[in-house]
Structure 1
Amino acid sequence: MSEEEVTWTGERRNKDLRTFPSCSSFDLLDPHDPVLSRLATQMFKRTNDYLQGEIATGQEHYDLLEEINRTVIIKYADLQSLAVNITKSLNESNEKYETEVKPLLEQIEDIHIELSALEATAFRLDSYTKQLLGRFIELLGIDNHSA
């Protein structure tokens, strides 16, 4: 067969295929190149391996996300429980402060105010005592410098 005949036959075959869209270009009875068949088989096998790997990777990512989600849910529940306990403890502490500590602090403040007033009174009394002593010495005529 010459090149023209091969070209014409190929064009004719392509033309025939185009006229019958339901026809496939693969015919079981046609002899095929064994190298081409081997390469096609390898291509399909490798494509299958690649797609299986992609699916497996996607599944692994999905499983990992599920595990992360479960862990986050557990941690969130733990944190929520911790927050509830902290709130409860804080409320108890505030209640104890209001009922036990605050009255004591108010008593301490009252004692401090009374002590300050007592101290001021003691200073005034001391000053008054010194004045009285000075007058008493003056009335008795005792000279401090002669002794």
Structure 2
Amino acid sequence: MGKDDFSKIPNGTAGIEDRMAVLWTHGVNTGRLTMEEFVAATSTNAAKIFNIYPRKGSIAVGADADIVIWDPEATKTISAKTHHQNIDFNIFEGMEVKGLAAHTIANGKLVWSNGELRAEKGAGRYVKRPAYQSMFGALGKQADLARPSKVERE
């Protein structure tokens, strides 16, 4: 797909709906991540990488009103039979997770509540962002510093 029309290339990987729960289960619940690191990885840092911070990834005046209320004790078994994605498989099929989004507020509206999707089709909006941002410059500098260099010897 997409050979002659790039807009028909499939996007990403199935399982996006469950990635936060998987990260919480195998990160926070195992002690590999703190709760604060989980929040940073799933909101602030991601928003910075995509150059949409502080509009996204922060709770501040002028930022979008997008907030997830997390229940660290909630559990479920991931399955394509019960997910909300428009795809017939799930890369996390059968995985048991502990820690789920209880409520999600997007643009000031409750769009997820205890397993019930309340989002309205077409309610989302495009968030414009520059194609190149400071993260790419920093990654380039890091790569340059890590590159082996010749050592002059007498």
- Normalising by the residue count of structure 1, what TM-score does the alignment of the two structures yield? 0.21
Bigger relative CO (Cα 8 Å, ≥ 6 apart): 2
Find the structure with the greater CA-based Rg.
Answer: 1
Q: TM-score, normalised by structure 2?
A: 0.20
Q: Normalized per residue, which structure has more helix? A: 1
